[in-house]
Amino acid sequence: MPSSCVSSPSSSHRHQCVGRLLAPPVPRASLAAVRPSLRRSFVSLRATSTEAAAGPDVAPTGDAGKAAAVRAEMAEAAAVWCALHGLVVGDRADPRSGTVPGVGLVHAPFSLLPARFPSSFWKQACELAPIFNELVDRVSLDGEFLQSSLSRTRQVDDFTARLLEIHAKMMAVNKKEDIRLGLHRSDYMLDSETNSLLQIELNTISTSFPGLGSLVSKLHRSLLNRYGEVLGLDSERIPPNWAASQFAEALYKAWAEYHHDSAVVMMVVQPEERNMYDQYWLVNHLKESHGVTAIRKTLAQVEAEGQVLPDGTLVVDGRRVAVVYFRAGYAPNDYPSEVEWSGRLLIEESSAIKCPSISYHLVGTKKIQQELAKPNVLERFVDNKTHIAKLRKCFAGLWSLDNDEIVKSAIEKPDLFVLKPQREGGGNNLYGHDLRETLIRLQKEQGEALAAYILMQRIFPRASLTQLVQGGVCFEDLTISELGIFGAYLRNKDNIVINDQCGYLMRTKVSSSNEGGVAAGFAVLDSIILTDE
Amino acid sequence: MPSSCVSSPSSSHRHQCVGRLLAPPVPRASLAAVRPSLRRSFVSLRATSTEAAAGPDVAPTGDAGKAAAVRAEMAEAAAVWCALHGLVVGDRADPRSGTVPGVGLVHAPFSLLPARFPSSFWKQACELAPIFNELVDRVSLDGEFLQSSLSRTRQVDDFTARLLEIHAKMMAVNKKEDIRLGLHRSDYMLDSETNSLLQIELNTISTSFPGLGSLVSKLHRSLLNRYGEVLGLDSERIPPNWAASQFAEALYKAWAEYHHDSAVVMMVVQPEERNMYDQYWLVNHLKESHGVTAIRKTLAQVEAEGQVLPDGTLVVDGRRVAVVYFRAGYAPNDYPSEVEWSGRLLIEESSAIKCPSISYHLVGTKKIQQELAKPNVLERFVDNKTHIAKLRKCFAGLWSLDNDEIVKSAIEKPDLFVLKPQREGGGNNLYGHDLRETLIRLQKEQGEALAAYILMQRIFPRASLTQLVQGGVCFEDLTISELGIFGAYLRNKDNIVINDQCGYLMRTKVSSSNEGGVAAGFAVLDSIILTDE
């Protein structure tokens, strides 16, 4: 659910959460555990630009100085491309950049070359998208399941408790959402221990970077069209990425199902947002390709300026709202006062199409992810056995702390686990020694505190050397990557209008960042280049 | 010849020169002289956004508050458009913005709506473009004419003297430029006194804003597609503007005439340049549309890294240069030391195609403009009588100070004249009292000092109220505008490959800026919307 996981300046806090929650580090020690052949293949890829990147006029002497010059030329060409093509974020150095568009812009941080990614895992991840879309919809309809699964979480997490409160109100009045729109992103890592694609989380609210993410794929294609030959990389192996236009089309089609020509799409946003250009790309596509106006409002503005008419119509500033698209509202920080909660409730009570509804939002919580991983739970929601097998294959181990056997294992082998707070949108993951100490303390205390955490199988992503570009400067570091697959789902009663995979987002993070150093939270936007391995 | 006349932060000095040299102010007093009907029509246009700009959901009550809200909405949408579509400049507030691409970006200053411009004058200006292109080429071939016309200027202007020195060296070795490329911009104002289109100057070197200028036309089209109906403005009345792709195509075709596949285009640039994105648009088009690489070098880098091979080939950093495109070198400031002059000479001595050659550069001086305006001079270079008539029709009065009769008139009626220093790229124009005092002093002194100035008919452009957007802020001011018509000319011996009009640039300037106040130099990028008046 985090909206801004790349370390655009303002989002370092949130990224830090994401990085820590969702991207367990590959500690230096564990690098040795990576199978040499795999490790070499990754390192050699990312090093291509260092070792072999001789420009057309540079003799292939392996001269490090010339290779560095070509790399600098590529980084400069890439930064120019970003400025000309809108691959930009607000620069934290300019205080106005998060509030006023067009001011204080800087290119989004990016990797100079796309990350190698095996075709087979790419295919697997793409196939999962419509299956997860359908799963979210099915689970969302089971209000009792959501309430009971989250009943212990509500005791320890005020934020989830408030969401459940809204959900319960909707259940009490038997509120139905005939038109349901989901814009999801399922995030995966490749685990080098098991050589498998494992899901990190499923985002059902405020999935970010359909706009900038698809631009990075275009940037990498453009660079490889120019430098690919000398690098031995074929731009055609970068999968097409139309996430922005496909998400915009899904919003448009939902708008069309609402059947009211003068209605608008309302994007719920944070008061300050340095990744606003990611959102503006959707606004731009909606307007240019579909003629639909999107307005941007904070939850506080919705509360102050909005009302629900007796027939359920949501009106904000005199405009009828067909679709509410949340790009905020996923974290406790988004609700600094009761005003924001009132705004959220107002939206939920209306007949506007919500992306997501409160039910969809709850399906994306880590606790539900854990419940779905339990034996025989998927079978309640999915009929197709093949789909169930595919889903289960990507589930990492997830356990609640009432499972004494797992807790015992984790205390014995803490390096194989991650201890995650249940709380959404904040808090730090615990590893190793801290994980063991915390588990021992929680066991002694017993009680509700146990429900505040879940245990997850630790994933050991492969590490690679990567050229990262930030603020016009290129540098090399050891990184790990996380692949997000966007998915769109639109349903009107029994009619499934859309159920598609919609592009992808690769995020690449400095691997030392998870060890709590100064670089914590540093990540860049990336794309992938498919390999046959 | 100024490269950056819009007040992007770094160019305020140069704009000030342009504003003062080329855009005589419309003093408050003279506004009364504008014919009421014309004045009203202009003011009503620019005021449209204030008075009638009710959005689709705003009742047409003339409520100023609501109109202001719509204006703010338009300004925000426009600033977003700029960020997404690369209509950006370097922000002076960020010291790195002029040197590193992708850093410290801010939307280029722009007018919220296009300026009204009569179709008849637009047609006239477009028709002049190929005629001026041809004229430049013809005059450039007459080395004796250039040397003799500028012989007095060289006495008083060191910069022109240095250019003439290079020119004389080329004449001495009988250097021929078989392939000649001109990328020009002829600038005009509409004179309200004579109701005519008058040429301000003809730029033959470093003509700026083909990139950003064509984007502003697209921005205005996009805004009018959205708000045009309520404003009563038809986006189809904005002339298409492909200046960037047409200039890039001309550079490409020149490159192709050079017949060497691995050669590059070299852009000569200033060490610090906050309008670099205007240049990068050409680099981008060259690469993306034509597969040609453009490198950017300062004159000092050319001197340090370049050489001319015995066969005349220009090589810089090991790359053979097919075309040298000057985006610097037009002003004394561009030559802080002898190193830069050596770089310029090196280029001129090579067989690379120069845009412009030293001859083309000299044809663009104010003195040559003045010479061409003298009786029977055009006839030396142009055969076609219709062309001569069209050229002469757009010439404002231009006189040297050896014309006693005109000097006497100017002393009597100083408000009808502008006194311009001959010096290129610097110095201030003189008006009114200052003009009279200076003329009287010069008459007493006599001698060579007279040759340092020319007198020009003062142009009284129409003024209008305009919404200007800078740094994300929209404000209204009284402005005057100057229309530049881009033209491209490419010739290989007797074969004219290109002779076209190539889009346009409207610059709109706060009219009080010419009176020396704090706003001096403030100008925005603009486009035009054609009217039938």
Q: Is the CB of residue A325 less than 8 Å away from at least one CB of chain B?
A: no
The percent helix, strand, coil of chain A (3-state, each to 5) is 45, 25, 30
CB contact under 8 A, B83 and A96: no
Question: How many residues are recorded in chain B?
Answer: 533
pLDDT > 90? residue B240: yes
Mutate to test the interface with A, among B8, B76, B82, B84 (most CBs of A within 10 A): B84
Tokens representing B275? 């309008």
Q: Write down the pLDDT at residue B398.
A: 86
Minimal CA separation from A243 to chain B, in Å: 16
Minimal CA separation from A265 to chain B, in Å: 14
Fill in the DSSP letter of residue A461.
B
**Does any domain span residue B224?**
yes
pLDDT > 90? residue B221: yes
Q: Write down the pLDDT at residue B243.
A: 98
Euclidean distance between CA atoms A372 and B164, whole angstroms: 82
When pLDDT is averaged across residues A239-246 and rounded to a whole number, the result is 98
Q: Write down the pLDDT at residue A462.
A: 86
CA nearest neighbour of B186 among B528, B502, B512: B502
Q: Write down the pLDDT at residue B422.
A: 75
CB contact under 8 A, B84 and A277: yes
Catalytic residue chosen out of the listed positions A257, A371, A507, A527: A507
CB contact under 8 A, B88 and A85: no
**Does any domain span residue B409?**
yes
Euclidean distance between CA atoms A28 and B151, whole angstroms: 74
Give the annotated binding-site residues of B for Mg(2+): 201, 203, 424
Percent of chain B residues past pLDDT 90, beyond the cut:
71
Euclidean distance between CA atoms B307 and A212, whole angstroms: 43
pLDDT, tens digit, for every residue of B441-497? 988 887 777 888 889 899 999 889 999 999 999 999 999 999 999 999 999 999 999
Verify that A350 and A420 share a domain, yes or no. no
Question: pLDDT category, A512, cuts 50, 70, 90?
Answer: low
Verify that B409 and B479 share a domain, yes or no. no
The HSE-up count of residue A250 (CA atoms within 13 Å, CB side) is: 31
Q: DSSP for B152-198?
A: HHHHH-HHHHHHHHHHHHHHHTT---SEEEEEEEEEEEEETTTTEEE
SS3 sequence of B101-154: CCCCEEECCEECCCEEEEHHHHHHHHHHHHHHHHHHHHHHCCHHHHHHHCHHHH
Euclidean distance between CA atoms B522 and B5, whole angstroms: 9
| Cross-chain CB nearest to A262 (options B56, B86, B106) | B56
Question: pLDDT category, A330, cuts 50, 70, 90?
Answer: very high
Verify that B126 and B176 share a domain, yes or no. yes
Euclidean distance between CA atoms B176 and B180, whole angstroms: 10
Verify that B280 and B362 share a domain, yes or no. yes
Give the annotated binding-site residues of B for substrate: 185, 205-208, 273-275, 279, 327-330, 507, 518-519
Q: What angle do CA B354, B357, B362 make, to 5 degrees?
A: 155
Minimal CA separation from B93 to chain A, in Å: 9
Q: How many domains does chain A have?
A: 2
**Does any domain span residue B225?**
yes
**Does any domain span residue B97?**
yes
**Does any domain span residue A228?**
yes
Is residue A434 within 8 Å of A473, Cβ to Cβ? no
Inter-helix orientation angle A338-349/A158-172, to 10°: 30
Classify the phi-psi angles of A371: left when phi > 0, otherwise alpha if psi is within -120 to 50, otherwise beta: alpha
Euclidean distance between CA atoms B357 and B334, whole angstroms: 17
Residue position matching structure tokens 């400069």: A76
Tokens representing B387? 């062309």
**Does any domain span residue B11?**
no
Residues of B belonging to the active site:
185, 201, 203, 208, 366, 420, 424-425, 507
Is residue B296 within 8 Å of B305, Cβ to Cβ? no
| Cross-chain CB nearest to B280 (options A84, A222, A318) | A84
Euclidean distance between CA atoms B252 and B261, whole angstroms: 11
Verify that B264 and B330 share a domain, yes or no. yes
pLDDT, tens digit, for every residue of A120-146? 999 999 999 999 999 999 999 999 999
Question: pLDDT category, B521, cuts 50, 70, 90?
Answer: low
Q: Is the CB of residue B92 less than 8 Å away from at least one CB of chain A?
A: no
pLDDT, tens digit, for every residue of B185-202? 999 999 999 999 999 999
Q: Residue B93 burial by CB count (10 A; 0-12/13-18/19+): exposed, middle or buried? A: middle
End-to-end, the C-alpha distance of chain B in Å comes to 31
The percent helix, strand, coil of chain B (3-state, each to 5) is 45, 25, 30
Verify that A308 and A357 share a domain, yes or no. yes
Q: DSSP for A17-37?
A: HHHHHH-----HHHHTTS-HH
Q: Write down the pLDDT at residue B137.
A: 98
pLDDT, tens digit, for every residue of B375-389? 999 999 999 999 999
End-to-end, the C-alpha distance of chain A in Å comes to 31
Question: pLDDT category, A451, cuts 50, 70, 90?
Answer: confident
Q: DSSP for B346-400?
A: HHHHSSSEEES-HHHHHHTSHHHHHHHTSTTTHHHH---HHHHHHHHHTPPPEEE
| Cross-chain CB nearest to A84 (options B226, B281, B317) | B281
Q: Decide which of B407, B432, B458 is a domain's last residue.
A: B458
Euclidean distance between CA atoms A342 and A110, whole angstroms: 38
Tokens representing A192? 């080098």
Verify that B144 and B206 share a domain, yes or no. yes
Q: Give the residues across from B419 on adjacent strands.
A: B430, B455
Verify that A190 and A280 share a domain, yes or no. yes
Beta-carbon pairs below 8 A across chains A and B: 109
List all residues 6 or more positions away from A100 whose beta carbon is below 8 Å from its beta carbon. Answer: B79, B472
Catalytic residue chosen out of the listed positions A424, A487, A511, A514: A424
CA nearest neighbour of A368 among A450, A424, A406: A424
Minimal CA separation from A287 to chain B, in Å: 9
Verify that A204 and A115 share a domain, yes or no. yes
| Cross-chain CB nearest to B104 (options A56, A84, A106) | A106
Distance of CA A389 to CAs A198, A375, A386, Å?
A: 13, 12, 5
CB contact under 8 A, B101 and A76: yes
Question: pLDDT category, A17, cuts 50, 70, 90?
Answer: very low
Which of the residue ranges A48-52, A423-427, A443-447, B503-507 has the most confident prediction, judged by mean pLDDT? Answer: B503-507
Q: Which CATH number covers residue B402?
A: 3.30.1490.50
More confident residue, B522 or A435: A435
Mutate to test the interface with A, among B8, B82, B106, B292 (most CBs of A within 10 A): B106
Classify the phi-psi angles of B420: left when phi > 0, otherwise alpha if psi is within -120 to 50, otherwise beta: beta
Burial A496-527 (b: 16+ CB within 10 A, else e): ebbbbbbbbbbbbbbbbbbeeeebbbbbbbbb
ipTM score of complex: 0.86
Mean per-residue pLDDT of chain A: 86
Q: Write down the pLDDT at residue B41.
A: 31
Q: Write down the pLDDT at residue B26.
A: 31
pLDDT, tens digit, for every residue of A54-93? 333 434 455 677 778 888 899 999 999 999 999 999 999 8
**Does any domain span residue B486?**
yes
Q: What angle do CA B124, B127, B131 make, to 5 degrees?
A: 125
Distance of CA A31 to CAs A35, A50, A526, Å?
A: 9, 21, 22
pLDDT > 50? residue B3: no
Inter-helix orientation angle A36-51/A64-85, to 10°: 80
pLDDT > 60? residue A8: no
List all residues 6 or more positions away from B478 whose beta carbon is below 8 Å from its beta carbon. Answer: B463, B464, B465, B466, B510, B511, B512
What is the gyration radius of the CA atoms in chain B, in angstroms? 23
Distance of CA A208 to CAs A427, A509, A520, Å?
A: 20, 16, 20
When pLDDT is averaged across residues A37-47 and rounded to a whole number, the result is 34
CA nearest neighbour of A38 among A195, A213, A246, A162: A195
Is residue A526 within 8 Å of A289, Cβ to Cβ? no
Tokens representing B427? 């110095």
Q: Write down the pLDDT at residue B424.
A: 59
pLDDT, tens digit, for every residue of A295-322? 999 999 999 999 999 999 999 999 999 9
Euclidean distance between CA atoms A136 and B211, whole angstroms: 47
pLDDT, tens digit, for every residue of B87-112? 999 999 888 898 899 999 999 999 99
Q: Write down the pLDDT at residue A60.
A: 44
Verify that A449 and A501 share a domain, yes or no. no
- Domain of residue A413 covers 397-458
When pLDDT is averaged across residues A8-27 and rounded to a whole number, the result is 29
CB contact under 8 A, A105 and B101: no
Evaluate the omega torsion of the peptide bond into residue B356 and state whether it is cis, within 30 degrees of 0. Answer: yes
Tokens representing A426? 């904040």
Euclidean distance between CA atoms A485 and A500, whole angstroms: 10
Amino acid symbol at B307: Q
pLDDT, tens digit, for every residue of B16-72? 222 222 223 333 233 333 323 333 333 333 433 333 333 334 344 556 777 788 888
Tokens representing A445? 């205390």
**Which run of H or of E encompasses A79?**
helix A64-85
φ, ψ of residue A227 to 5 degrees: the values are: -115, 0
Fill in the DSSP letter of residue A94.
S
**Does any domain span residue B127?**
yes
Classify the phi-psi angles of B90: left when phi > 0, otherwise alpha if psi is within -120 to 50, otherwise beta: beta
Residues of chain B with Cβ-Cβ distance to A89 below 8 Å are none
Q: Write down the pLDDT at residue A311.
A: 97
Classify the phi-psi angles of A11: left when phi > 0, otherwise alpha if psi is within -120 to 50, otherwise beta: alpha
pLDDT, tens digit, for every residue of A148-201? 999 999 998 899 999 999 999 999 999 999 999 999 999 999 999 899 999 999
Euclidean distance between CA atoms B23 and B19, whole angstroms: 5
Is residue B425 within 8 Å of B330, Cβ to Cβ? yes
Question: pLDDT category, B365, cuts 50, 70, 90?
Answer: very high
pLDDT, tens digit, for every residue of A490-507? 999 999 999 999 999 999
Q: What angle do CA B501, B127, B418 make, to 5 degrees?
A: 95
Q: DSSP for B314-328?
A: EEETTEEEEEEEESS
Verify that A152 and A216 share a domain, yes or no. yes
pLDDT > 60? residue A33: no
Q: Decide which of B443, B458, B473 is a domain's last residue.
A: B458
Q: Write down the pLDDT at residue B512.
A: 65
Verify that A401 and A492 share a domain, yes or no. no
Residue position matching structure tokens 């950049």: A97
Is residue A346 within 8 Å of A314, Cβ to Cβ? yes
Is A203 in the active site?
yes
